[in-house]
Amino acid sequence: MGAISDSLGIMSPPFVGHPYDDHLVYERPYPPSDNLLRWGANEGADDFYWRCTDGDPNRWTVAVLTRSQTWYDYDLGMVDFLVHLLSGHITPPLNAHLSIDPPTFESWREEERRMGESDDWDSFV
């Protein structure tokens, strides 16, 4: 669970000690009845899903649902999709331009640590 360059949030199944139930694939029945399991979202309200149509998760493909409720399917797994997206080899019609150069990943733990060190953070609490 974390973010790629503050542009693309990556979600994960719940794990012991997770602090953000609302950012996770949480309380979702498995296998999902609609064969869709969300794993990410961007700041433009586009959502990224696995299409869970195969019993082997290594064969799940990626589906993107844009804010305008249009679906786009990619015959790629999540990692390959992200590599192609971040390298510019695919350019899905997203509502937010992913200006990620170079792409960096920050886990939720690192984000909490960084926010805890910020002088401005105390004024929001």
Rounded to an integer, what distance in angstroms lies between the CA atom of residue 58 and that of residue 20?
Answer: 26
The pLDDT mean for the chain works out to 74
pTM for this prediction: 0.68
Task: Report long-range pairs for 44-51 (Cβ below 8 Å, ≥24 apart).
Answer: 44/94, 44/95, 44/96, 45/95, 45/96, 46/92, 46/94, 46/95, 46/96, 48/8, 48/78, 48/81, 50/78
Rounded to an integer, what distance in angstroms lies between the CA atom of residue 17 and that of residue 124?
Answer: 24
Q: Over the stretch 103-122, which tens digit does the pLDDT of each residue have?
A: 666 565 676 676 666 655 45
Q: Is 125's pLDDT higher than 50?
A: no
Q: Over the stretch 67-106, which tens digit does the pLDDT of each residue have?
A: 889 999 999 999 899 888 888 788 777 765 555 566 666 5
